[in-house]
């Protein structure tokens, strides 16, 4: 796993943009970020927080924007990624961000991707606008999901420990470092710790896990959040969910250029 770096926006702009070919059309980080910023401004959205991560010596980038909303618990979020090494598609996801801890929320159907080829320069603007225009509706959907997560109470420690094991062994979007973070958060989190040795809500566990996902590789940020959300919602309302798309490779294998 390559080193993950937090950079300022201006530092991202200094990373050299690769040359295009007959089959590859590069999108500069500056162009992508500037377009997102401009479209958000056009639609009257205010960015209240921003974070930029890179990997592979700056060749892969993901940005996370917290967007101001009327809800005082969960803000809207826009996450988008780019690559200079022809390994990842341009991706954009509308989601949510828990304000007190900046934990992310990404639902599977809130994600769009585009390969670096053909008319991407033209299509990119539409991709960004579609995501921004739908943020309000998608945010409302996440608020409904949040309500259901808060209402679900685990019966005992064995139940939520088994679910964490499912995330690690079967769905494989957690690593051993993240397991230790989750254990710490369940016990000592300022906002989402167990109320008693056996009392934990699905919402608290969700945030314990998203806290651990903050150390995820940039290429895995969107896919791991998508996987968590699908698994947790399937768990708290199994009778209502059919044909879950377990494509955890959204920003990994499935997004490899070629």
Q: Which of 58, 45, 43 is nearest to 2 (CA)?
A: 58
On whether the CB atoms of residues 32 and 80 are closer than 8 A, the answer is: yes
User: Cα dist. 193→196, 200, 236 in Å?
Assistant: 9, 8, 19
The per-residue pLDDT for range 209-235, each reduced to its tens digit, is: 999 999 999 889 999 999 999 999 999
Q: From CA 30, how far away is CA 9, in angstroms rounded?
A: 8
Top pLDDT among 190 and 100 is at: 190
Mean pLDDT of 84-113: 89
Pairing of strands 60-67, 5-7: unpaired
Q: Is 148 exposed, middle or buried (0-12, 13-18, 19+ CB in 10 A)?
A: middle
The per-residue pLDDT for range 137-173, each reduced to its tens digit, is: 889 999 999 999 999 999 899 999 999 999 999 999 9
Whether the predicted pLDDT of 83 surpasses 80: yes
Whether the predicted pLDDT of 237 surpasses 90: no
The per-residue pLDDT for range 201-211, each reduced to its tens digit, is: 999 999 999 99
The per-residue pLDDT for range 32-59, each reduced to its tens digit, is: 999 999 999 999 999 999 999 999 999 9
Band of pLDDT at residue 111, cut at 50, 70 and 90: confident
Whether the predicted pLDDT of 244 surpasses 80: no
Going by the DSSP 8-state scheme, the letter that residue 22 receives in this structure is S
pLDDT confidence of residue 2: 65
């Amino acid at each position: 796993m390559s080193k993950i770096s937090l950079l300022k926006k201006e530092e991202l702009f200094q990373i050299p943009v690769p040359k295009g070919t007959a089959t590859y059309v590069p999108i500069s980080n500056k162009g992508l970020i500037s377009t997102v910023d401009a479209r958000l401004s056009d639609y009257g959205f205010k960015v209240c927080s921003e974070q930029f991560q890179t990997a592979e010596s700056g060749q892969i980038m993901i940005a996370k924007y917290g967007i101001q909303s009327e809800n005082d618990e969960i803000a809207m979020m826009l996450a988008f990624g780019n690559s200079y090494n022809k390994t990842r598609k341009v991706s954009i996801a509308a989601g949510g961000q828990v304000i007190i801890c900046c934990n992310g929320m990404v639902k599977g159907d809130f994600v769009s991707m585009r390969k670096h080829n053909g008319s991407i320069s033209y299509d990119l603007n539409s991709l960004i606008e579609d995501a921004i225009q739908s943020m309000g509706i998608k945010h409302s959907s996440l608020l409904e999901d949040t309500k259901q997560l808060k209402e679900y109470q685990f019966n005992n420690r064995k139940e939520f420990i088994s679910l964490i094991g499912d995330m690690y062994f079967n769905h494989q979007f957690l690593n051993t470092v993240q397991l230790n973070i989750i254990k710490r958060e369940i016990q000592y989190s300022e906002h989402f710790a167990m109320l008693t040795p056996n009392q934990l809500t699905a919402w608290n566990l969700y945030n314990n896990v998203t806290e651990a996902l903050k150390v995820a590789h940039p290429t895995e940020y969107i896919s791991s959040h998508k996987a968590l959300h699908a698994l947790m919602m399937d768990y708290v309302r199994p009778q209502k969910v059919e044909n879950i798309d377990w494509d955890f490779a959204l920003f990994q294998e499935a997004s490899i250029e070629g």
